[in-house]
Amino acid sequence: MKLRLPARFEDMTLGMLQVLETSDDMLTCLEAVTGQPQEQLRQLPRNLLQEGYNHIQAVRQSETSRHVESFALNGVEYGFIPNWDEFTAGEYIDAEQYTADFWPNAHKLMSILFRPIERKWGESYSIAPYTAKEDAEALKMMPADQVSGALLFFCDTKSELLTTLQSSLIATAMGRTLSGGNGGGTPSFMRLRMNRISKWMRSRGHLWGIYSHTWRF
């Protein structure tokens, strides 16, 4: 039996990365990447397994990123979020949760960023509304370089949106103060929104750390 191994980072899938990033067990990693059950892998020479394991670790370290607006997977065409102004509270809250413990939930985050395309016109498209019941398991077959590309784009976009939101909240608070209005529950609401922004920025920094090798270039 021969081990069929990915030659490049883009030959890996998100599901493979999730195992490689969360397990140090050689057989577990080789099973995830080759598709061969551990019972069969145990019958191979130890030096062959070690060589294969070293290879996939080297490929994993040679990260690349490629952002795509849409792609087809198992007969379904997925589109990246086309309009960030329509990013809902549900999407935001779940994305924040998934980034906090990223690798076990990476496919769930991808199911927020990429959803089935419902309609296309020219170069534009619309995607299915977020329900939190998306088939996230299907996204485990995403190419690894598309995952890193999506994260890079996501972090940059959310950074701009959050900077705008933060400035808007500060301006609103300043306006109320200067006008002398009491604002009722505004101070507590403002603190809640600012705390959410700070929490997201910490999550964003966590994601940058995960893919720091790729994004340094």
Residue-wise pLDDT tens digits, 49-58:
999 999 999 9
Does this model's pTM top 0.85?
no
Question: Which pLDDT does position 158 carry in this prediction?
Answer: 58
Mean pLDDT of 121-144: 95
Angle ∠(48,53,56) on CA atoms, nearest 5:
125
**Does 75 lie in the same domain as 177?**
yes
Show Cβ contacts of residue 135 under 8 Å, excluding neighbours closer than 6 positions: 111
> For 134-191, what is each residue's pLDDT tens digit?
999 999 999 999 998 888 887 766 555 555 444 444 444 445 444 444 444 444 433 4
Of the pLDDT bands very low, low, confident and very high (cuts 50, 70, 90), residue 210 is low
Who wins on pLDDT, 196 or 23? 23
| β pairing state of 70-73 and 76-80 | antiparallel
Cβ–Cβ under 8 Å, residues 96 and 200: yes
Give the phi and the psi of residue 143 in degrees, each rounded to 5. -60, 140
Of the pLDDT bands very low, low, confident and very high (cuts 50, 70, 90), residue 199 is very low
Separation of alpha carbons 135 and 142, rounded Å:
13
Residue 3 lies in a domain: no
**Does 139 lie in the same domain as 57?**
no
Range of the domain at 125: 70-215
Place of tokens 């690798």: 103
Residue 1 lies in a domain: no
Sign of CA pseudo-dihedral 129, 134, 138, 143 = positive
Q: How many domains does the chain have?
A: 2
Question: Which pLDDT does position 123 carry in this prediction?
Answer: 86
% of the chain exceeding 90 in pLDDT: 53
**Does 199 lie in the same domain as 96?**
yes
**Does 45 lie in the same domain as 79?**
no
Question: Which pLDDT does position 162 carry in this prediction?
Answer: 54
Separation of alpha carbons 45 and 204, rounded Å:
43
